């Protein structure tokens, strides 16, 4: 892979981590149940990605959608499952537990990529991943206040993310944008009968639209485009930026000041990821 492609992958995946880190902000902002949120998040996310496909492909948009193979459907189903597991896990365990479990994704992705593609992670990526995991663990101080069901759901989400990383890396010829659009739509349709999507107010609908576009459409689009340009463990490592960024948005929006431990742990994650990016981009 060329150096420009690698740098572009770093920028895209970093952007996806920033977009996905807004999930806690939106779930805190919108006073609705998980299923209703997931329904509209998926629908608006799918609409945002569909508009991006139409804007970039124009006449070739339908051909791109028609070319979705079984692997594209597999990506969409796994991605939709990950979305549902993520939001649901936050209602059954603490954000801290979800952050710690998700911080293991670089190691899970590295193991899967070695099994599927015999792709060996670089020493820099492994060291940075260990440092990032340590930073997240420090942030949450190994709290024990979570719930077993939520922890299991969070691990399921983490496994789905690792699978998505490996799929986009291994099968670079799949029409990834239509597959991402399909995943958003599937998550919304699955959750529709489980929530109360028609009972939302106009104000909440506007917030849900922002949630779907920013967190789902932008995040998933940048991730799917960038993850195919990076080794699996690098993609997962950069994704760990979600852990320190999530409380930052809540602090800015709601005035909840993070503790000193959170600031120190978040700084460790930032430094680990930034050092790795600088090392690989040099």
Residue 45: predicted pLDDT: 94
Q: Distances from the Cα of 4 to the Cαs of 10, 75, 118, 168, in angstroms?
A: 10, 26, 24, 19
Q: What is the largest CA-CA distance in the chain?
A: 54
Q: 242-254 vs 95-102: helix axis angle to the nearest 10? A: 150
Going by pLDDT thresholds of 50, 70 and 90, the confidence category of residue 82 is very high
Mean pLDDT on 73-90: 90
- More confident call, 123 vs 169: 169
Q: Note down the domain range covering 143.
A: 3-281
Cα radius of gyration rounded to whole Å, the chain: 18
Number of domains the chain is built from? 1
Answer yes or no: is pLDDT of 255 > 70: yes
Average pLDDT of the segment spanning 12-20: 91
Mean pLDDT along residues 198-215:
94
Judged against a pLDDT cut of 90, whether residue 269 lies above it is answered with no
Contact 156, 265 (CB under 8 A): no
Is this prediction's pTM over 0.95? Answer: no
CA distance 94 to 138: 15
Interior/surface letters 231-253, b for 16+ CB within 10 angstroms, e for the rest: bbbbbbbbbbbbbbbbbbbbeee
């Amino acid at each position: 892979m060329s150096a420009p492609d690698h740098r572009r992958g770093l920028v895209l995946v970093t952007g996806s981590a920033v977009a996905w880190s807004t999930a806690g902000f939106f779930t805190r902002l919108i006073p609705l149940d998980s299923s209703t949120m997931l329904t509209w998040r998926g629908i608006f996310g799918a609409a945002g990605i569909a508009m991006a496909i139409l804007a970039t492909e124009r006449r070739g948009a339908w051909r791109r959608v028609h070319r979705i193979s079984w692997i594209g459907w597999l990506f969409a189903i796994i991605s939709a499952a990950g979305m549902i597991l993520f939001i649901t896990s936050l209602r059954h365990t603490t954000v801290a537990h979800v952050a710690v479990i998700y911080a293991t994704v670089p190691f899970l992705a590295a193991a899967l990529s070695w099994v599927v593609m015999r792709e060996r992670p670089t020493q820099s990526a492994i060291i940075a991943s260990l440092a990032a995991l340590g930073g997240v663990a420090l942030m949450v101080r190994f709290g024990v206040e979570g719930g077993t069901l939520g922890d299991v759901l969070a691990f399921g989400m983490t496994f789905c993310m690792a699978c998505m990383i490996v799929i986009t890396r291994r099968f670079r010829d799949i029409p990834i944008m239509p597959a991402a659009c399909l995943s958003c739509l599937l998550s919304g349709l699955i959750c529709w009968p489980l929530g109360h999507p028609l009972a939302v107010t106009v104000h909440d609908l506007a917030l849900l639209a922002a949630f779907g576009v920013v967190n789902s459409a932008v995040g998933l689009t940048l991730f799917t485009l960038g993850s195919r340009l990076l080794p699996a463990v690098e993609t997962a490592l950069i994704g760990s930026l979600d852990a320190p960024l999530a409380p930052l948005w809540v602090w800015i929006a709601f005035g909840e000041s993070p503790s000193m431990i959170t600031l120190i742990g978040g700084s460790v994650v930032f430094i680990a990821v930034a050092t790795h990016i600088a090392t690989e981009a040099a």
